[in-house]
Chain A
Amino acid sequence: MKLNLTRFFTVRKVLSLLLICAIAYSTYSIYYKVKYWGFSLSPKAVTDVWTVDAKISFRALGGDVKVSLAVPNDRDGFKILSEEIVAKGYKITQDKINSRVVLEGKDKTGKQNLYYRLSIYDDAQNVALNSLLPAKINRPILSEEETIQMRKIWELSELQKGDKIQKAILAINQEVNNPTMSLILPLDHTAKEFAEKVIQVLAYKRIPARIARTIKLEEGRKTEKPDIMLEAYYDGHWTLYDLNTAKIGLPKNWVIIQRGGVSLLDVKGGEDSTVVFSVLKSVASPLKMAEHRAKAHDELWSYNYSMYTLPVFEQNTLKWLMIFPLAILVVVIMRNVVGVSTMGTFTPMLLAMALVRTGFWPGLICFSVMIALGLVMRALVAKLNLLLVPRISFVVIFVILLIQVLTVVGYRLNYTIVSSAIFFPIIITAWIIERASITWEEEGAVNTLKEILFTFITAVVTYFVISNEYVRHVMFAFNELNLVILFVVMLLGTYTGYRVTELMRFAPLIHKEN
């Protein structure tokens, strides 16, 4: 029985199972982060952030002033990044229930300019329509003449295409200049009056409807007035209609800033009031928006325990750390699967890390020069027959002084190649020099150069993996992948196949048999 169990739970099987679990978990976690936090697989992905500025201008009449502006509300599904009100000398009240900002000022005279700024992000045009049920509406009380017109419009609407509401909108549009229609709608009607008429026509059939004020998100756009569209509650849900074309839905890059028939701006104690909207587009990285998105999705709890809430310094350190496991994986593959021998297990990894900071060619050239100088110096010192620890200490101090000189000279002469010396790990550099010189004495130049070359090749491969912008982004944004790497590395610990270099090394054993 015991034997069967051990056969069933071989190390490899258990590790494979854990790896599958890690992959499953990572997949879910990536999906979760993309969906709820808006993370992107690409480091270049940006989120559009639209800043909508409302400038309220009016002339105060010399007494108390009360300004009330309709504003978007979280409840309507707006993804609001920030809200800002600039109104010096005014008392600001946010009326969340009615979605209005109320500004009150005392003894104001002359021209007044007040600002309301709103930043919205993410599919702003795709705002979920308010799912609240409309209040039950009554048929409007109409005169006999108006009733006839209503009926006529609904009759005419049968000739149009689309759903019931689209038909009505198109019919009203067509008949707007018809003398019979002019009775209900003046010829020089405003968009708002037109919308109110449509609402009235729909109300005749007991279809609830309301005005939606929208603006187009367009870089640098200034509009005096938001465009008016119509939302109607039909078939159990709210639908948005264009009042001219009767098209359903919000066109791309438009945003609803306010709903309902109430006035956009009320000014008491002032005259000639206007509100001008202007739109500005900016971009932000998805990582920065994650908190807002998590909040919008009610998933803040998980976000709060992620590393993305840490201060920037800690985050940058972790971002650097999160790339290590991948670098380690590269080293493991190079050593156990490819089969190159390097000086020190993780020396190539540390070298690659230094190359990331110095840049590839400057770092490689500078490092080669340092090693070469160190080897020359070490060869000279070899004649002194110093004891081991003092001798290595000499190399370490020599490397420190070399770094200092190169950095200062490089800085003065403005050669980045030279000054990149400062980024190389001192002890690692010293050990490479020491080991290379011992290998040189004992096994000859060829073996030494081979070992240095393999160390460099491994470092370069590691460098290209970890310096890739995508890789670094993915390993930071989706750090659960490190769990996958963990189990891959452990599984590689059970890899008993041939190393690539062994295929060549043992080649004589093939020709022998055949």
Chain B
Amino acid sequence: MFEWIFNGKKLRENGVLGMNDRNYSVIAKYNKRSLYTLVDDKVKTKRLANSININTPKMIGIIEFQYQVKNLLDIVKGYDTFVIKPAHGSGGKGVLVIKKYDAEHFYSASGDVLSFKDVYQHVSNTLSGLFSLGGKYDVALIEEAVNFSDVFKNFSYHGVPDVRVIVYKGFPAMVMMRLATKESGGRANLHQGAVGVGLDVSTGLPLNAVMHNKPIFEHPDTKANLMDLRVPFWREHLIIGSLAYDMTGLGYLGADIVLDENRGPMMLEVNARPGLAIQIANGKGLKTRLQEIDEKYPLGLSAEERVDFVLNQGK
């Protein structure tokens, strides 16, 4: 029952990166603290991304002060759908997706019908820092909703499937796709019960899939075979990840990318402290991969050249 106590040596042999090692040997070394603000503030990230032509959902407006909240309907005028996000949120907290609305009724993506008062309250909460890191006063970002591509329809229950690319020194190092389940409440967070599918970084083909840290082969709700998962625009996904490095200067980052039906892959957010669950989804240790990049990958390439280098490794 307790044989896992002796796992340390094998994990080391398999090149599994632990939390302490990640914090001490990777993040503290390659992620300068001053760069964090670039990714902690989604408005800043979005502007930065747009400046180097990374696709992101279009920004509709910002609500900074309480008195502006009542103008919400004016701000979203002309848009059929919109998303309210806390600029300093994390892990999908406080994200409200409105699929359809009129003056009084707001239909959220998770199926709730909200009144204007409810939405007003949500924005107020966002401003007062309910969803932000450390409870600091925040700004509500209002952007266009993503038109999710149908290709993943069978692989996700409600919510939004996204691709998480771990980028190390500008090279895509490990990738997984996160699929919402009934249990995860439509969210793509693994610890809430979403499915993680590890994808081979150079081919984009599924390697392994887990839910609650245990291997699975089909989606628990849609019953789709997870090994049939194919991600279109694979190279473009990786390029967005790679550009995130150029954009932020973070040596170790996680880029969350979604696929829009019309506009292709779009970057949703960048994380300066991406988690380690991706290793379980891939069935591979990340440390081995980082060492490989340290030792064998060339310096001084552009984002596209780096991606092509990675893609060539699979051939």
Binding site for B on A (CB under 8 A): 336, 339, 385, 387-389, 438, 442-444, 447, 493-500, 502-510, 512-514
Contacts and interface: CB of A to CB of B under 8 A. Distances in A.
A510 B16 CA distance: 9
A447 B128 CA distance: 25
B125 interface: yes
Contact of A336 (B10, B14, B20, B280): B20
**Which 8 A-B residue pairings sit nearest by Cβ, starting from the closest?**
A388-B128, A496-B21, A498-B18, A503-B7, A512-B283, A385-B121, A387-B128, A504-B4
Contacts of B11: 498, 502-503, 506, 509-510
Interface residues of B, number: 37
Nearest to A503: B7
Contacts of B93: 442
Contacts of A508: 210, 213-215, 280, 283
B283 A495 contact: no
A494 B208 contact: no
B7 A506 contact: yes
A506 B20 contact: no
A303 to B, nearest CB: 42
Contacts, number: 93
Main secondary structure of the interface of B (DSSP, over half): helix
Interface in B1-38: 4-8, 10-14, 16, 18-21, 24-25
Contacts of A497: 8, 18, 20-21
Interface string B111-132: 0000000000100110011100
B273 interface: no
Contacts of B214: 508
A339 B8 CA distance: 14
Contacts of B192: 443-444, 447
A495 B11 CA distance: 16
Contacts of B223: none
Given A506-B279, A510-B14, A512-B283, A494 B24 contact: yes
Nearest to A11: B24
11 contacts: A387-B124, A387-B128, A443-B191, A497-B20, A499-B20, A502-B11, A503-B6, A509-B14, A509-B16, A509-B280, A512-B283
A388 B8 contact: no
Contacts of A496: 18, 20-21, 24-25
User: Which of B6, B19, B128, B214 is most buried by chain A, counting CB atoms within 10 A of its CB?
Assistant: B19
A158 B16 CA distance: 86
B99 interface: no
Contacts of A506: 7, 11, 16, 18, 279-280
Given A447-B192, A498-B12, A508-B213, 13 more contacts: A387-B124, A388-B128, A388-B130, A388-B135, A443-B192, A495-B20, A496-B21, A498-B18, A502-B19, A506-B18, A512-B208, A512-B283, A513-B14
